[in-house]
Amino acid sequence: QVQLVQSGAEVKQPGASVKVSCKASRKTFTDNYMHWVRQAPGQGLEWMGRITPNSGATNYAQKFQGRVTMTRDTSISTAYMELSRLRSDDTAVYFCAREGSLTWGQGTLVTVSS
Amino acid sequence: ENVLTQSPGTLSLSPGERATLSCRASQSVSSSYLAWYQQKPGQAPRLLIYAASSRATGIPDRFSGSGSGTDFTLTISRLEPEDFAVYYCQQYGSSQWTFGQGTKVEIK
């Protein structure tokens, strides 16, 4: 079964950008969409968007349009999510999750604070 | 956007009791692409049920899912101490995933 390993916690200042990575353990990386979901402290799960690993095509939630960029590097089976113009309410745990198997990464805490 | 509404918000039960959690969708869920997750503090969501009623690998048979269309249910037949957690439903039948707001199952 595919496992997803995410990059470590980040602390950013307001207005900065953050880039989170998600590495898949198997060569089936291109077989399914990769989604990104976030969870603010004490809150529920919020879908941010998805990327088609084969083509790089993306679909973003309207809320994040213009601030989020999802990319991938198929040579190393890794997906990336970059969020720009960070605000304090972007403080959250960010998860990648693979469609098909519904496998999730362990999460990456992003703290936005001055 | 297919909005998922879970009820109740909190369920207070004792170990050994039966838990019934509801998830209602604003639109029919395509091909019953409805999943249930369990989440404990500091952990990623754990997949319990996919395709509305199929248990994920390693999930005990006290967890069962049912439903179709717009109404879905997760049942925990006899609560074990480790089952007290927050549960989310999710639809993954469209290009945009959506989640319910969660049901907290707490010890009475």
CA distance B27 to chain A (A): 18
In 3D, which of A20, A5, A13, A14 has the Cα closest to residue A77?
A5
The CA distance from B88 to B103, in Å, is: 7
pLDDT tier for residue A38 given thresholds of 50, 70 and 90: very high
Inter-chain CB proximity A46 and B99 less than 8 Å = yes
Judged by a CB distance cut-off of 8 A, whether residue A102 touches chain B is yes
Residue A29 has pLDDT above 90, yes or no: no
Q: What is the pLDDT of residues A81-110, one digit of tens each?
A: 999 999 999 999 999 999 988 999 999 999
Q: b/e per residue, B81-103, with b = 16+ CB within 10 A?
A: eebbbbbbbbbbbeebbbbbbbb
Burial classification of residue A76, based on how many CB atoms lie within 10 Å of its CB (0-12 exposed, 13-18 middle, 19 or more buried) = exposed
Judged by a CB distance cut-off of 8 A, whether residue A61 touches chain B is yes
The CA distance from A3 to A51, in Å, is: 17
Residue B23 has pLDDT above 90, yes or no: yes
